[in-house]
Structure 1
Amino acid sequence: MKKTTFNQAFIKVFALIILCFTAFSFTTKFGLDSYEIYLNNKLILKQSVNQPLSLRVLQLDKANENDQLRITYKHCTLKGAGTDRNIVLKDEKGNTLKNWSFADATGSDLSMVISVKELLLLEKNNAHHDLSLHYTAKELPKEQLLASLHMK
């Protein structure tokens, strides 16, 4: 009698272990979305999305009109760039001032490039507003604040 009870308990535990291994083998591996912002080829901001809130302010006051802002956003679930990517410039009220659309990334270059000259012009035309850059993509349920701009 004891041998039968032991065998049943062993079979139940073994079945539970197999069930757990099966269930966990199909879960997706979650990581962190992250992004990097470069002024030309110099890294000026690197951030993981769920890191503690930082001041994420882009200091572009020493930027030249011929410079380029290059943004690379990596999605954790894709291990690469998203699709239907946009960088949006907004004021403090959430009004969209400019929307840059980017083609889906192919190959190893995931960057989205914005002319600093264009940013400087937009900042000049909206001098009394706080401006910020946001990222959107098909894979991102809501837009992600990248950084506030400081160009004065």
Structure 2
Amino acid sequence: MKQIKFNQAYVRIFTLITLCLTASNFTTKFGLDSYAIYLNDQLILQQMVNQPLNLRVLPLKDAKESDQLYIKYTHCTIKGGAGTNRSISLQDEKGNTLKRWTFADASGSDLTMKIAVKELLEVEKNHANQELSLHYTARELPKGEMLSMLRL
């Protein structure tokens, strides 16, 4: 019987290729979650989740009770972008949830979640001397993401 001798360099290359292909099956999809917040039709905040927290302040001082806040959160790893079991919560500086809004799963291209500014102002009246913040949660993001601080 003939014995086949493999060159050590070929064995190393084959091992390297095999490891690379195996590792690529475990990597996550590249990209970042992002969101945009509108006051009525005007964009007031647009962020990627890796930007510093100190930039995330909603200027709502001039907002009227009749105004609407529209929040569009896009997940980078989901086809269509929208999460499921979505909610927005208003929290105080200690992390206590003061109010929670839940939203139906998005259908089609409309990913927006709508909150009446009147509801934000009502909560703010009862917690006037506290810093309030908006937080997003979804089945795909159970720990949540702070969207912004509020300036009412």
Corresponding residue number in structure 2 for 1:118: 119
Contact 2:85–2:139 under 8 Å retained in 1? yes
Task: Give the superposition deviation at 1:91.
Answer: 1.1
* RMSD across aligned positions (CA): 1.8
Q: Give, in whole Å, the separation in 2 of the partners of 1:86 and 1:137.
A: 6
Corresponding residue number in structure 2 for 1:91: 92
Q: Structure 2: 5+ residue runs without aligned partners?
A: none
Corresponding residue number in structure 2 for 1:47: 47
Q: Normalising by structure 1, report the TM-score.
A: 0.87
List per-residue Cα deviations over 1:81-139 (Å, max 9, x = no partner): 11111100011122111000001111111110001111112112221222111111111
Corresponding residue number in structure 2 for 1:107: 108
Amino acid paired to 1:93 = K
Q: Structure 1: 5+ residue runs without aligned partners?
A: none
Q: Which deviates more from structure 2 when the two are superposed, residues 118-127 or residues 65-74?
A: 118-127
Sequence identity of aligned pairs in percent?
Answer: 60
Q: Give, in whole Å, the separation in 2 of the partners of 1:53 and 1:125.
A: 25
Q: Give, in whole Å, the separation in 1 of the partners of 2:150 and 2:14.
A: 57
- Report how many aligned residue pairs link the two structures: 147
Corresponding residue number in structure 2 for 1:63: 63
Amino acid paired to 1:83 = T
Q: Normalising by structure 2, report the TM-score.
A: 0.87
Corresponding residue number in structure 2 for 1:22: 21
